[in-house]
Structure 1
Amino acid sequence: MERLVTVSVVPLWGAETLNLRFLLITLILLMAGCSSTAHRVTEPPVVVSEATWRQIDQDIDSASLLSKAEVRRYTRGAMERWRQQVFQRTETDFIPWFTGYWTQQWLSMRVSWYKLNSQGEADSVVNRLTLYLQEQYHQRVLDPVAKVTDPNVIMGDAVALYVQMLDVSLVEIRERYAVPQQQFDRRLNEIPAISLAPPPARNASLYVLTHTEPLTALPAYVALIEQVRGSNNGAGAGLSDAGISSVAKRASERLEAQIATRSIASAVAAAVGRIAGAAISVVTAGIGAISNESDRPEAQAQMRKSLSAAFDKAWLGLMENETNGVMAGVNYISGEIDDSMVERSLSVPQAPATPVRPASFSDDVGDTSP
């Protein structure tokens, strides 16, 4: 008996059809990708006219000045708090210390020692006493206050706040004129903000300044802060020098007169004998103490007046001085930006501003930066 065998044959054309469909789909996807890429490559770049760049420069300069004005208000408030703290510390610590009886006795001894080594120069005595009183004023007033409110810290904070506010304004300016980010960044990189080279690391453009976080990581910023602090010689340096000098001069003259009186009393005591001499010395010391206490209100009033006048003058200097004031860092950067804008405006011929437009295919599509 024969067995029938059935053989199933799969037609080859079915597999070929599947492969053909796969190839067609792949080809379509590749063509779509190429079309998209070609479209991106041929998209014309944005051309920014020179007149538009000039207007952008003016807006940057204006933003710098506005930021500077806002920061000045902040620093004035901070320095007012510092001023009150210094006044309070002067009133409660330094003035009572200086006008105290035992301090006056100690200063008398110092003046005597200074006179012995002055070789007859009166100014030498006053100068040395002035330096000593300045040291005491720093130790008793300025240094403790600086632990709470330090003009040097205020100066650094002012720069950081200025950069932060200016950066916000720069973003708004770019969006206002619809300038491509790359072109705008290139423009900012051409504007100097800090120029303290050599070495070159002590220079920084406006772009670098506004894109470095934290600012303390930027060598140019560190160099600027060091330069300001170096010219200032510490927080409140020179604050009380003028007032202390006048106080020291009067104190030196008064103490010299007291020394002369004591010398006469000592001579009389030696002449009348040990017991009577001891009594005379005690009486002289008592009279000195009584005199000191009676003169103390007047002495405090004189010192308060001298220090107050010098303090007001020095405080104004800390606010306004371009070299070592609390706004010195901000003034420097703002000045660099302003000078750069002035140079640009003088070097480029004036022309009416035109809106930003796309470049045509006939335009030069190379580097569009001016």
Structure 2
Amino acid sequence: MFPLLIVALLAMQAGCASKAPEAPPVVVSPSTWRQVDRDIAAASLAATGQARRYAQDSMERWMDLVYQRTDTAFVPWFTSFWTRKWLSIKVTWYRLSSDGEREETVNRLSRYLQEAYDDKVLEPVSRELDPDDIMEQATRTYIQQLDERLQLIPQRFGVPKDQFAQHLHEIPAIELAPPISQRASLLQVLRADPLEEQPAYAALMAHIRTAPDGAGAWTTDAGLSSITRQTSEQLASEMVTSGAASVVSGLVGRAAGSVLSLGFTGISAMLQEEERPGREAQLRKSLNDAFDEEWLELMRNPESGVMAGVFHLSGQVEGSLERTMTQPIRFEPLPRVLPPGN
């Protein structure tokens, strides 16, 4: 019996010895967390740089398409003789319906020309490349690049992955004020799959897309508005001459007047064709100036530009880390490449 008891006791001791004691949780020091936060901020800055490169390259391609479409579709239409005659008719109608108010006439003509520009240039180009889509893809690029860099940090500093995930959950990434009132942590954004179904992210994209001064509204800028005003004044002057032809037509009779009107139209067309190259050159210069200014606005505007989503996320992330970083990390800004025309 005693041998059996001894065997049982030895077996019990062996079983107890095989159970290793649980390791205590890893305690990460405050100084290590500050180093982690500096690396997170550096990762955000680097990801912003990658997103900016994508946005800049894409916007340069978009601008090339806008230039080409403007040159082949809008400028020839705008400067043609028959378009100007049609615009003269519209100016006459606008003046009659506004009791001769010049300002209202100019504004209505401006809106008409902006709609024509949308139809002939911006909408066809947007089917191939669109600033709103560039904005969203730039935001995705930032998130993807940031995620790749953050995955290297826990091992670098010996931080347990669960503690690092909790730390990311405490860092805000999206914070939308009322009436939207949507928020998301950095961890929620990084783990969203698919990203567009993350409520705060979807709200941010919708907010930027519907901004009143976004990419789709830029044709109301001073560049095109000044062109429409000049055109309105020119058309008003042409109407005076056209009115003189109508008076002569009435004096010499309907048949002779019709012949005279046709002759006058032909002469006007010939004269305006001679002036057309100069008008086209002036129009191209005015539009190019407006294009260059708007391109820079779309690249820089933090509320509605193509980097708006990136600026929001990076601003939230880096702003929340400023309180814990002992020394900010700075990077040299990317060189800016101006679009064609500068």
Corresponding residue for residue 230 of structure 2: 250
2:290 maps to 1:310: yes
Residues 172-211 of structure 1 correspond to what in structure 2 (within 5 A)? 172-196=152-176, 202-211=182-191
2:95 maps to 1:115: yes
Residues 208-287 of structure 1 correspond to what in structure 2 (within 5 A)? 208-231=188-211, 235-239=215-219, 241-287=221-267
Corresponding residue for residue 291 of structure 1: 271
* Gap change, CA 1:182 and 1:197, over 3 Å in 2: farther
Can you list the C-alpha shifts for 1:99-136, whole angstroms capped at 9, x where unaligned? 11221111111111111122232111111111111111
Q: Please provide the CA RMSD for this pair.
A: 2.5
Residues 324-343 of structure 1 correspond to what in structure 2 (within 5 A)? 324-343=304-323
Counterpart residue identity of residue 265, structure 1: A
| Bigger radius of gyration | 1
C-alpha distance in 2, partners of 1:187/1:238? 41
Question: What TM-score do you get using the length of structure 1 for normalisation?
Answer: 0.82
Can you list the C-alpha shifts for 1:307-336, whole angstroms capped at 9, x where unaligned? 000000001111111111100000111001
C-alpha distance in 1, partners of 2:217/2:19? 65
Q: 1:321 aligns with which of 301, 314, 330?
A: 301
C-alpha distance in 1, partners of 2:298/2:142? 18
2:139 maps to 1:159: yes
Q: Could you tell me how far 1:38 is from its partner in structure 2? A: 5.2
Residues 131-150 of structure 1 correspond to what in structure 2 (within 5 A)? 131-150=111-130
Q: Could you tell me how far 1:35 is from its partner in structure 2? A: 4.6
Deviant stretches of 4+, over 3 Å: 30-38, 197-201, 232-236
Q: Could you tell me how far 1:344 is from its partner in structure 2? A: 3.8
Task: Check conservation: 1:142, 1:235, Cα contact below 8 A.
Answer: no
C-alpha distance in 2, partners of 1:74/1:60? 21
- SS class of match (1:162): helix
- SS class of match (2:50): helix
2:36 maps to 1:60: no
Residues 346-357 of structure 1 correspond to what in structure 2 (within 5 A)? none
Corresponding residue for residue 332 of structure 2: none
C-alpha distance in 1, partners of 2:303/2:180? 22
Corresponding residue for residue 47 of structure 1: 27
Q: Could you tell me how far 1:233 is from its partner in structure 2? A: 6.2
C-alpha distance in 2, partners of 1:130/1:63? 46
Can you list the C-alpha shifts for 1:331-366, whole angstroms capped at 9, x where unaligned? 111001121112345xxxx79xxxxxxxxxxxxxxx
* Gap change, CA 1:24 and 1:253, over 3 Å in 2: same
C-alpha distance in 1, partners of 2:218/2:262? 41
C-alpha distance in 2, partners of 1:31/1:156? 63
- SS class of match (1:169): helix
C-alpha distance in 2, partners of 1:133/1:199? 35
Q: 1:100 aligns with which of 67, 75, 80?
A: 80
Q: For structure 1, which runs of at least 5 residues remain unmatched after alignment?
A: 1-12, 352-370
Q: Could you tell me how far 1:90 is from its partner in structure 2? A: 0.4
Task: Check conservation: 1:239, 1:315, Cα contact below 8 A.
Answer: no
C-alpha distance in 2, partners of 1:199/1:283? 64
- SS class of match (1:231): coil
- Report percent identity of matched pairs: 47
Question: What TM-score do you get using the length of structure 2 for normalisation?
Answer: 0.88
* Gap change, CA 1:199 and 1:238, over 3 Å in 2: closer
* Gap change, CA 1:249 and 1:44, over 3 Å in 2: same
Q: Could you tell me how far 1:34 is from its partner in structure 2? A: 5.2
Task: Check conservation: 1:239, 1:314, Cα contact below 8 A.
Answer: no
- SS class of match (2:184): strand
Corresponding residue for residue 300 of structure 1: 280
Can you list the C-alpha shifts for 1:165-192, whole angstroms capped at 9, x where unaligned? 1111111111110101111111111100
Q: Could you tell me how far 1:79 is from its partner in structure 2? A: 0.8
C-alpha distance in 2, partners of 1:32/1:192? 51
> What count of residue pairs does the alignment treat as equivalent?
325
- SS class of match (2:98): coil
* Gap change, CA 1:264 and 1:341, over 3 Å in 2: same
Q: Could you tell me how far 1:249 is from its partner in structure 2? A: 1.1
C-alpha distance in 1, partners of 2:158/2:177? 34
Counterpart residue identity of residue 293, structure 1: E
Task: Check conservation: 1:318, 1:324, Cα contact below 8 A.
Answer: yes
Task: Check conservation: 1:204, 1:220, Cα contact below 8 A.
Answer: yes
